[in-house]
Amino acid sequence: MENLGLTILLWLGYFSLGLMLIGLFRPWYMLWWEHTQTRMRVINLYGGVALAMFFMRFILSLFF
């Protein structure tokens, strides 16, 4: 339980990757609020969030 924050970041990254995989098959499920739903937007949005979570976890794991 001492690294709960790191674990949460890891699972948020996995969750974003899962949403990205769903969005690659059905982009309108993941980007319902936008007028145009393309796979590239899915990769940019959810892939960027996943990379940010994994990067933040890596940086925080160096300090804690």
pLDDT by residue, tens only, the chain of 64 residues? 468 888 998 999 999 999 999 999 999 888 888 888 899 999 999 999 999 999 999 998 888 7
Q: What pLDDT score does 63 carry? A: 85
The count of structural domains within the chain is 1
Residue tagged 């969750």 (tokens): 15
Q: Which domain holds residue 12?
A: 4-63
CA distance 15 to 19: 6
CA distance 28 to 63: 39
Q: What pLDDT score does 44 carry? A: 94
CA distance 1 to 19: 27
